[in-house]
Amino acid sequence: MGKGVAKFGGKSGILPLPRQIFKQPIKPLKIEHNPNIGYAPDVKHPRGSTREPIYPKVVPVEERIVKTIAAPKRNFTEEEFGKLPIAQQWKLKNSALRRDYLKDSYWKEAKRLELKEAREEEAKKKLEEEIKKAQQYEESTASKLTLPSVEQYLKGPIMRQRTEAETKELQAKRKLNLLNHELRLKEKKAADLLELYNASTQFIITEEQLADAVSKAFDTNSSYSSAFSTTQTFKSLSSTSNSRVSVGNDIDTAIANALLGRVNGGPDLNDVKDTLHGETYKLVEEAGKNFSEMLQKDQQKYEKKYKDN
C-alpha cells in the first residue's frame, strides 16, 4: 500500500472521505436473500458464530435525537435564569444552541440521504428503461430489404432432420448391410474349413505315411545311394517345384477344380450345401427315375420290334 502520498497513488491533496453522521441505518434495510450465501441446511455453523448474518441495528432519527440530545434536567424560568451568574447563563445558552444545531443537522442529513436514495433509484430506473429500449432492437430498413433470406435462414434450423420413415429406412439398410457382412464372413469361414478338411486327406498322420513320403521324395531309382545322388535328387526336386511345369500343373488343377466344382480334390461348399438340404439326394433320385423310365421304354421298343419281326 505504501506510505504518505503513495497511499493515494502518488497524488497529494486528496482529502479523506467525510465521516458518516449516521453510523447505523436510519430506516429498515432492504435485504435480499441470497441463496449462495450462508450455511446449507445439513451443515453446522462454527461455535461462537451465528447461523444468520447480523445486520446493523436500525436507529431512527427521532430515537437518535432522544438518545444523544437529551433535554436539560432542570428547566429554569425566566426569573430564575436572570438570577444566575452571566457565565452560567452563557453556558446554558450555548448548550441550547448546540442542541438545536445538532438536531437540525440530523434532520438535514436524513433529508439528504433520502434525496440521494431517490436520485439513485431514479437513475437506476432510467438505466433499466434505456437497456430495455435498446434491447427491443429493430433492424434498419436497408438490411430488412436486402438480407431477408439469410436472416430468415438463420432463424430456423440449418439442417432438416430425418423423418420417421427415413430413419426406419436407414436402420433397415444398416441391418441388411450387417447381415450381408455376417453372411459373407460365415460363408468364407465355411469354405476355408471345407478346404482344410479336403486337404486333410493329404496330411501325414502315421509313421508309415511319413516314411513313405520321405522315401518317395528321395527316391533316385538307382541301386546305390550316395551323397552325390541324394544331392542331385534334391536339386532336381527343388528345380522342378520352381519350374513352369509345376505352375502349369497348379493351373491345370485349379481349372479342373473350378470346372468340376471341387476344392482340394473334395466337394466344394455348394455340393455340401445341396447335400445338407437334400438337393443332391433329390437330383440322384430323379436321375435314377428318369434312367429307369428310359430303360423301360427302350425295352418296350425292342420287344415290339422283336414281335413285329
Partner 1 sequence: MSLVHLANVCAHLQNCSRVNLPLAHIPLTRLHLQVALGLYKHGFIKSIQKGSTLGPDLVPTEVTPDNISSRRLWLGLKYKNSKPVLNKISLVSKPNRRLFLDKEEIRALSGGSSVRVIKPLQPGEIIFIRTLNKDLVDLQDAAERHLGGEVVCRAR
Least distance in Å: CB of 126 to partner 1?
Answer: 13
Let me know: does 58 contact 27? Beta carbons within 8 Å: yes
Binding track over 71-110 against partner 1, x by CB under 8 A: ----------------------------------------
Least distance in Å: CB of 175 to partner 1?
Answer: 18
Most distant CA pair in the chain, distance = 192
Least distance in Å: CB of 138 to partner 1?
Answer: 11
Closer residue to partner 1 in complex, CB, 125/297: 125
> Is 147 near partner 1 (CB under 8 A)?
yes
Of 61-69, 105-113, 153-161, 252-260, the segment contacting partner 1 by CB under 8 A is 153-161
Transcribe 239-295 into DSSP letters.
HHHHSHHHHHHHHHHHHHHHHHTEETTEE-HHHHHHHHHTHHHHHHHHHHHHHHHHH
Closer residue to partner 1 in complex, CB, 122/130: 130
Residues binding partner 1: number (CB under 8 A): 16
Closer residue to partner 1 in complex, CB, 29/131: 131
Least distance in Å: CB of 170 to partner 1?
Answer: 9
Let me know: does 173 contact 180? Beta carbons within 8 Å: no
Q: What residues numbered 122-141 form the site for partner 1, per CB under 8 A?
A: 130-131, 134-135, 137
Of 24-32, 155-163, 268-276, 300-308, the segment contacting partner 1 by CB under 8 A is 155-163
Least distance in Å: CB of 131 to partner 1?
Answer: 4
Closer residue to partner 1 in complex, CB, 135/223: 135
Least distance in Å: CB of 124 to partner 1?
Answer: 14
Task: Select the residue interacting with partner 1 from 43, 54, 158, 205 (CB under 8 A).
Answer: 158
> Is 159 near partner 1 (CB under 8 A)?
yes
Least distance in Å: CB of 6 to partner 1?
Answer: 25
Instruction: Please identify which residue in the block is written with the cell numbers 521324395.
Output: 217
Please give the sequence-ordered ranges of beta strands (E in DSSP) within the chain, or none if there are none: 262-263, 266-267
Phi-psi region of 234 (alpha: psi -120 to 50; beta: other; left: phi over 0): alpha
Closer residue to partner 1 in complex, CB, 120/130: 130
> Is 29 near partner 1 (CB under 8 A)?
no
- Residue 211 DSSP SS3: helix
Phi, psi of 10 (to 5 degrees): 75, 10
Strands 262-263 and 266-267, how do they pair?
antiparallel
Collect all residues with Cβ–Cβ distance below 8 Å to 234 and sequence separation of at least 6: 218
Of 142-150, 208-216, 270-278, 292-300, the segment contacting partner 1 by CB under 8 A is 142-150
220 closest CA partner among 212, 228, 209 = 228
Residues 169, 175, 176, 181: what is their CA dihedral angle, to the nearest 10 degrees? 150
> What residue type is 274 in one-letter code?
D
Q: What residues numbered 160-199 form the site for partner 1, per CB under 8 A?
A: 160-162
Least distance in Å: CB of 159 to partner 1?
Answer: 5
263 closest CA partner among 190, 214, 205 = 190
Instruction: Please identify which residue in the block is written with the cell numbers 485349379.
Output: 254
Least distance in Å: CB of 180 to partner 1?
Answer: 21
* Cα–Cα distance measured from residue 88 to residue 190, given in angstroms and rounded to the nearest whole number: 129
Positions touching partner 1 (CB under 8 A) are 130-131, 134-135, 137, 143, 147, 150-151, 153-154, 158-162
